[in-house]
A = this chain, B = another copy of it.
Amino acid sequence: MVKISILYPQTPDSTFDMEYYVNKHMPMVRQKCAPECRRIAAESGVAGGTPGSLPPYIAVGHLTFDSVEAFQKAFIPHAPEILADIPNYTNTQPIIQISEVAL
């Protein structure tokens, strides 16, 4: 299984609408990437590792697929529409991490 993690950096002026992300954006991605997208998940950044520090990421999303090929097949045809929705919930530029699930 591979996990596509979408990391939204925390910056002094970063904004993020978690309600829109969880209720609109992520379900839309899941629907467009069905049936290949096995799971969606999202987290809201709370803190960093030292007392009183900000989290490195204001929010994180995850999409799980069987393989990188399954992700590409499902995502690429819908990428323009999915990416065009980003300004509806954040002013940040996400970082992408593609990982193999190991545990």
Cα A99 to Cα B102 with chains together (Å):
21
Whether the pair A55, B99 counts as a contact (CB closer than 8 A) is yes
Cβ-neighbour of A101 out of B5, B21, B43, B57 (below 8 A): B43
Contact with B along A85-103 (1 / 0, CB 8 A): 0000000000111111111
CB distance from A2 to the nearest CB of B (A): 7
| Nearest CB in chain B to that of A94: its residue | B49
A22 at the interface (CB under 8 A from B): yes
Cβ-neighbour of A46 out of B43, B46, B95, B98 (below 8 A): B98
Find chain B residues with CB under 8 A from A42 CB. Answer: 101-103
Q: How many copies does the complex hold?
A: 2
Cβ-neighbour of A56 out of B7, B60, B68, B103 (below 8 A): B7
Cβ-neighbour of A57 out of B45, B48, B97 (below 8 A): B97
A18 at the interface (CB under 8 A from B): yes
Cα A50 to Cα B54 with chains together (Å):
27
Find chain B residues with CB under 8 A from A3 CB. Answer: 43
